[in-house]
Structures are given as structure tokens and as C-alpha cells.
Structure 1
Amino acid sequence: MNQLAVLPVAGLPEVAAGDDLAELIAKCGGFEDGDVVVVTSKIVSKAEGRLVRADDREAAIDAETVRVVARRGGVRIVENRNGLVMAAAGVDASNTPAGTVLLLPEDPDRSARTLRAALQRLTGRRLAVLVTDTFGRPWRNGLTDVAIGAAGLRVLEDHRGRRDSHGNELAMTVTATADELAAAADLVKGKATGTPVAVVRGLADAVTEEDGPGAAALVRPAAEDLFRLGTSEAVREAVTLRRTVRSFTDEPVDPGAVRRAVAAAVTAPAPHHTTPWRFVLVESAAVRTELLDAMLAAWRRDLAGLDGWSEEKIARRTARGEVLRGAPYLVVPCLVMDGSHSYPDARRAAAEREMFVVAAGAGVQNLLVALAGEGYGSAWVSSTMFCRDTVREVLDLPPGWDPMGAVAVGRPAAPAPARAPRGIEGFVEVR
């Protein structure tokens, strides 16, 4: 069993821009082969000249931010350019002169590699270096130090494929060794003792000859991050990601995902405490084909009797529905007027129906956004509204169910093109 010692490196002077940090640390500490030197990022930043004038800390945070993860009041959790998700992008206004802020090292892994090379040259020892900063953590109160830069250390210990003491194969366990060492070192560094460097001794097996991938290996890829956004940010991103998809892969759609989307759909607002939505899930390929063939025949019959509608024009118009045929799953949202009020005049009766139509649209929007959150593309096509009797007949729907289009669902065959930013100008009038 490894026995670890965590030793403070005392006596470091105040660090300023241009100082040789490795020389300062080497003079103050005693080192052995296999030691891990843990350095608070603040002194790395000071030595690298990352103390900048900034009367507006928020502007400095903006400059360091790549993406806002979550915001509540004046608190922002953001992703910085190194992929670190943290409060205020790591911009620090504590223990700095008035009107200045301290930024994180521009490239913490590069800083760790540079510092390691210099320390090994000065001490003649085989060392690893961690650059650390203080993070909050989801679901846990309190702060702890984590590694934001690393050199010469296996930052992750992969236990997958090994067996525990009961013979069970480990399938998920990957230990963040670098973060564990950063937290341990902070116990002797502390925030108020003025000791920004510590040495962890006793883990020489984790110290490597090469610099290694650095702390960048600790950053979870976006595709694997199930908690990438805060609540309001996730809603906004899902709304933005909800794009009309017209080409799908053959991958089957998870019926459970669609049902979760329907559960979101039926939370939409509706008049008179009603539930004016019904969702027909067309999961059978045979039923989809029967429905689309019947709809196409109905469209052709209707259009063929109209002046100016040539066979070519009819073919162009009905081809728009091919997006439904190419999807592996269809949802037919229907409007029901159960609970609506009766009025003797046509104007009020029409307005009553409009309220229910708006509620149905809100339900469909919820459905589309929830499907985007599940990773599915969709296209809301109006076709069924033009042949409702045909749709009701094929799907055996009650007479009071009015199909409100059809939603094609599936995995997008290709990424949607980037959406140009759209401001609210032109869509808002203030009175």
C-alpha cells in the first residue's frame, strides 16, 4: 500500500511578472525522485504576466468565456478557452491591486511542462508538476482544488477490465488521480497561509518519463457530458437546436424517447384547464406506408380537379411530403375540443377554436424541443391537415380528433447547417 506524504514548500516570496518560478520553488523546497510538485495557478499566472488592468471584472470574464453553462443572478458558470467549466472563467479579483484581475494561465498544460523541465534541470530529480485551481462541483457544497495543468503524471487511472475483491469486473471506474493529488496538496497549502506550493511524495509509480497528455485529458468531451448546461440554458439551446430535418438515417427510434417527449408536450398551456392534444405514435412501418399512400392518393384527387394544377405541379407539391416517407417514425398530433365552450355566434366560436389550435401548437413545440433534447431530428409537416378524413380512417381515430400535421422523427442523416443569429429586432414592438 502506498504511503503518501504531503509537504508544504514554505518561504516563497511574492511572485511578480517575469520571475523565474522554477528557481524560486527549487530554492525553497527539498525534492526526491517521484515527487509531484503541486503549484497554485495564481503564482503561475503572476509569473506569466496574467495580471491585467480591468476596471470591469464582468468584461474580463466575457473575454475569457467561450460558452455560458449556467447563470443565476450575478453568478456565471462558464467554459473557458481551455475547456474548463468553472465560475467566472477563473478570473480572480482577490489579493490583486485595485483595478486589476488575475487571469488563469493561457495554457496550463504548457505552463506545467515548462515548469517541470526547469525544476528537473535545477534539482536533478524526476518530478511531475500539477498546476491547480479552486473549483466548485455540481451536487456538492464547498470548494476543492483540481488539476488544470499537468506534466509527467498519469492524470487518470483506468480500472476498467480489472476485477474487484469479489471478482466482479469493473466497467466504469476511471480515477482522476491528478484531481485527488490537487485536493490533497491543498490541505497543506490552504488559502490563507501564503503557501502556494506543496509536494506529494509516495506516488512515484504514477510519475512518467514523458510529459503526457496533461490535464486536458480530464476534460469530459461534450458528446459524453450529460450535464452540459444549466436549466434555462438547456431550454434555450434545445429550442435553438430544434431544426427541421428532412433526411434521416435508418436507425430505429427509441419509443421510450418519444414517450418522454410526449410527456413534455402535454405540459403545454391550454384553455379552460383542458388537455386538447392527442398524439398518435405510428410505430408500424406497414401502417406508415398505408397512411402515406392514402394521403398521397387523397391529395392527388383533390388537386387534379383544380384549374391550373398540371400533373407536374401536383408532383412537385406532393413531393414535399416525402420527408415523412423517409423517416423511421411518425407522430400525428391531433386537436380535440373536449372542454371547449359553446357560443351562439360564429365569431366567438371561431375564437374559441383558435385558442385550442394555439394550445395544440404549443404542445407540438414542446414535443419537437424535447425530441431535440433526446438527440432526434424532426420535421413538422402540415400534410394531414389537408386530408383529415383519410387520416382518421386509416388510423381509426375518433371523429372529434383533428390531425394537425405529422411529425417525422429520426436521427439526422447529416448535421444541420449553422443557423445565422437572429435578433429580436423587427419582431418586437414596445408600447
Structure 2
Amino acid sequence: MSGSSGAASSAAPSFRVWALGGIPEVRAGDDLAKLIAAAEPGLVDGDVLLVTSKIVSKAEGRIVEAADREAAIDAETVRVVARRGPLRIVENRQGLVMAAAGVDASNTPAGTVLLLPEDPDASARAVRDGLRDALGVDVGVVVTDTFGRPWRNGLTDVAIGAAGVRVLDDLRGGTDAHGNPLSATVVATADELAAAGDLVKGKAEGLPVAVVRGLSHVVASDDEPGARQLVRSAADDMFRLGTSEAVREAVTLRRTVREFSDEPVDPGAVRRAVAAAVTAPAPHHTTPWRFVLLESAESRTRLLDAMREAWIEDLRRDGKSEESIAKRVRRGDVLRNAPYLVVPCLVMDGSHTYGDERRDTAEREMFVVAAGAGVQNFLVALAGERLGSAWVSSTMFCRPVVREVLSLPSSWDPLGAVAVGHAVGVARERAVREAEAFLTVR
């Protein structure tokens, strides 16, 4: 494969890139440089070798026993950047921000996972030095891995390690073809090389090494900084926190959903939402929230059947006709149609008793407000997990029934029930509410 820029002519810049065949299955302890040299790559000075990180990891014995891939991801994670359901974008111990910390369960024996090289730049240096010793050539080496990108669909290879390659081409201070100054142009040359190699290596062809020829100007001395130079520092990362943007997005996503698909709900996502819920403010340093998770169909059915019977009795006492009662019960089936239910409860542990009705009422109201803040946090966090929800007040009207069926302490006051699941269809656009309509300024 070749590439060019400018008008087609003999003087136009060009390069060649091809995949190198003949690399055997790599095992722990193998010398990659010797394996590559044995494949008779025909390397010359100025070539760039692109090596898939997977074979580097195998040679370095980075295969570990791990029946639970999530635990392996936890071990390699320094910071969780974003999470949606089981997918995590994290910063790993190499400083790379990527999906699942680079922990790979493909092309490795069952019950094991493959971790990224401990120091990809050092791995690249070892291959470069080994090829110099074996073949007498001065080549650049780039260790590549597959990344997704924010705001872009699809995957591409990028450089995670490099040796003897100018990984960045800083054009700042120069001018473009029209004489305009270049003030922010720094080209990620090593990433461009990695992507070019991926075009010929492919993802499933068993060709883990590629060679680029014709770009000798990117090959540099041994003391050239490695691919670590490509990792943006925390101080320069405009999206490192993104807290306000993330909260606003989750709040916007939060809608009342009344129709759910059969897709199961990840219990871990609900627990993460509870973790967000209990960060709400509360009086007297208390924790006035409890969340009862109804994960089994049996527990949901038992509760909803008992609540329905209590509701029907209430409606009959109110003199409603059987037809009217049937219609109301059908409208209340949003909880029955959900694959997961949560019953948030208020507890008054730590509250003060004043012996004065006005102050005691205000005390309870403080706790109710705090519990409501917790439930709002919970709903917003569910939306951030791409889960739909509907907060229904029904359990508040039959608290004794709920406590009995769920074996809850008498001091727990159910605050409705939250139906949780994956929404069917696309929610309608939310009506615009101008903040000014809800403000009073003094």
C-alpha cells in the first residue's frame, strides 16, 4: 500500500506499508526481535516497524489467570473516566485512557486475560535494539493498540510505545501554504503510522507486524522520547473532569418511562446509582435513605399483588365502580411491566425530637426533603447508565403492606417505587422550561 500528497508526479511524497508474514504464535519468554528477524523482513535503515501490542504482551508474559475480567480491569485501573453499563473508559497504569484498561480476553486461553505491556516504550526499545543486533539495521519501532475515540465512531490503531521515532511533529512557529502562521499544529506522527499499519495488518488476519518504508525522516536517535509523550497531561486535559457537562446531560436524559423492553437490568448499574443517591445532603450528618432492590420476579410479583389488593379495597371503600377500579388498576401497571423495581425508604435515625408540633413537623420535612434529593440523584444516575425509570408514589399509600411483604423494619417509610428498565422507543422531546419563569429575585 502506498500514500501520496500533492500533485501526482515523480517528486510527490510517498511511502509503502505492508504486513510482514511468517511470525509464529508468540509465547512467554520469546525474543520478538529474533522472531521478526527470522521472518526475513528485508528491513533497511529508515524503515518503521509497527508491532501489535498483543504479541508484545505475550512475549513478556502478561497473560494472567482471571476468571473475572472485571476484576482484572479493576487491578489495571487508576481512574474511571466514564462508565455506561458494563463498559468502562478508564485511565490505566500506563497512563492511557481507553476502554477496559486494555485488558483483552480474545486470542488467549480460556480463563486468562492479556494485559498491556508494563512499559510499552521499553518494549519498543528492546525490539529496536534486538533488530539492530540481529540485522544491523537502524529502524524505528512503534507498539500499537486499538482505541476508540471520543466523538468518533469506529476503532483505529494508535501508538502506545515507540523507540527511535519522532512521535510528535511540532509545526508551531511555521507557516502554511498561504503564509498563515501555525500556532497550534502538532501532528501525532506515531498514531498516523499505527493507523496506516492497521490497514494492512487487519484485526483477524494473524498479521501482527507491519513495515512502513519511505518515511525515514520520522526515524530518530535512541534518546527520542517515546509514546508516553502522546499522553495529554492532566493540566492540559480540558475534559478530565467534565462534571458539570455530565450532570447536565444526565439530568436532560432523565425522563419518566412507562414502557420497558425485556432486556435485563444490570444490577451493578443500579448499585452504582444507589452510590450516587447516598451522596445527597441530609440533616445532622444522617443517612436517611434506604433502597430495597427487588431483583427477582417472585419478589416483585408478591409485592405488587399485595399492593393491588390493598388498592382495590381502598377504591371500593371510596365507592368506585368495579369498571372504574379495573381501569385504574390497568393504568397502574407501569411497575408490573418493569424488569426491576426499587423501593426507596425514609428512615428518621438521628432526627431530633423537640416536643413541639411545629418544630417536630419541620424536622420530619427536612428528612423528607433529603430523602427526595437522594431519590433524584438515583434517577439521574440511572439515566447516566442509559436506564429508564418511573418514580411512582403507590407504596406511600400502603406502607404497612409493603413493610410486611418485604419484611422491613417498622421505622422504614416507603417513598413510592421506582420502575427501572430499558425504555421502548425514543422519548419525546422535553417541553422547554425557561428558568426565568421559576425565579423570584429580591
The one-letter code sitting in structure 2 at the alignment partner of 1:168 is N
- For structure 2, list consecutive stretches of 5 or more residues without a partner in the other structure: 1-11, 249-356, 374-410, 414-442
Q: Offset of 1:54 from its aligned partner? A: 0.4
* Deviations, residues 110-169 of structure 1 (Å, cap 9, x unaligned): 101111100111111110000000000000000000000000011000011111111110
The alpha-carbon distance between structure 1 residues 211 and 42, as it changes in their structure 2 partners (threshold 3 A), is farther
* 1:130 lines up with 2:138 in the alignment: no
The alpha-carbon distance between structure 1 residues 347 and 234, as it changes in their structure 2 partners (threshold 3 A), is same
* 1:105 lines up with 2:114 in the alignment: no
| 8 Å contact from structure 1 (residues 146, 179) kept in 2 | yes
| 8 Å contact from structure 1 (residues 23, 122) kept in 2 | yes
Partner of 1:4: helix, strand, or coil?
strand
Q: 1:17 aligns with which of 25, 28, 46?
A: 28
Q: Offset of 1:211 from its aligned partner? A: 3.9
User: What residue in structure 2 maps to residue 179 of structure 1?
Assistant: 191
| In 2, Cα distance between equivalents of 1:226 and 1:16 | 41
Partner of 1:16: helix, strand, or coil?
coil
| In 1, Cα distance between equivalents of 2:158 and 2:109 | 26
* 1:50 lines up with 2:65 in the alignment: no
Q: Offset of 1:235 from its aligned partner? A: 5.6
Partner of 1:89: helix, strand, or coil?
helix
User: What residue in structure 1 maps to residue 179 of structure 2?
Assistant: 167
Superposed CA RMSD in Å reads 3.1
User: What residue in structure 1 maps to residue 168 of structure 2?
Assistant: 156
The alpha-carbon distance between structure 1 residues 50 and 233, as it changes in their structure 2 partners (threshold 3 A), is farther
Q: Offset of 1:80 from its aligned partner? A: 0.6
| In 2, Cα distance between equivalents of 1:138 and 1:207 | 29
| In 2, Cα distance between equivalents of 1:168 and 1:220 | 26
The one-letter code sitting in structure 1 at the alignment partner of 2:34 is E
* Deviations, residues 373-407 of structure 1 (Å, cap 9, x unaligned): xxxxxxxxxxxxxxxxxxxxxxxxxxxxxxxxxxx
User: What residue in structure 2 maps to residue 193 of structure 1?
Assistant: 205
TM-score w.r.t. structure 2 length?
A: 0.54
Q: 2:156 aligns with which of 138, 144, 155?
A: 144
Partner of 2:190: helix, strand, or coil?
helix
TM-score w.r.t. structure 1 length?
A: 0.55
| In 2, Cα distance between equivalents of 1:80 and 1:121 | 33
| In 2, Cα distance between equivalents of 1:70 and 1:144 | 20
| In 2, Cα distance between equivalents of 1:69 and 1:227 | 10
User: What residue in structure 2 maps to residue 70 of structure 1?
Assistant: 82
| In 1, Cα distance between equivalents of 2:116 and 2:68 | 17
The one-letter code sitting in structure 2 at the alignment partner of 1:52 is V
| In 1, Cα distance between equivalents of 2:412 and 2:107 | 45
* Deviations, residues 172-211 of structure 1 (Å, cap 9, x unaligned): 1100000000000000001111000000111101101224
User: What residue in structure 2 maps to residue 91 of structure 1?
Assistant: 103
Partner of 1:5: helix, strand, or coil?
strand
The one-letter code sitting in structure 2 at the alignment partner of 1:99 is G
Poorly superposed stretches of 4+, deviation over 6 Å: none
The one-letter code sitting in structure 2 at the alignment partner of 1:40 is T
| 8 Å contact from structure 1 (residues 91, 101) kept in 2 | yes
Aligned length: 256
The one-letter code sitting in structure 2 at the alignment partner of 1:67 is R
Q: 2:92 aligns with which of 77, 80, 83?
A: 80
| In 2, Cα distance between equivalents of 1:8 and 1:104 | 22
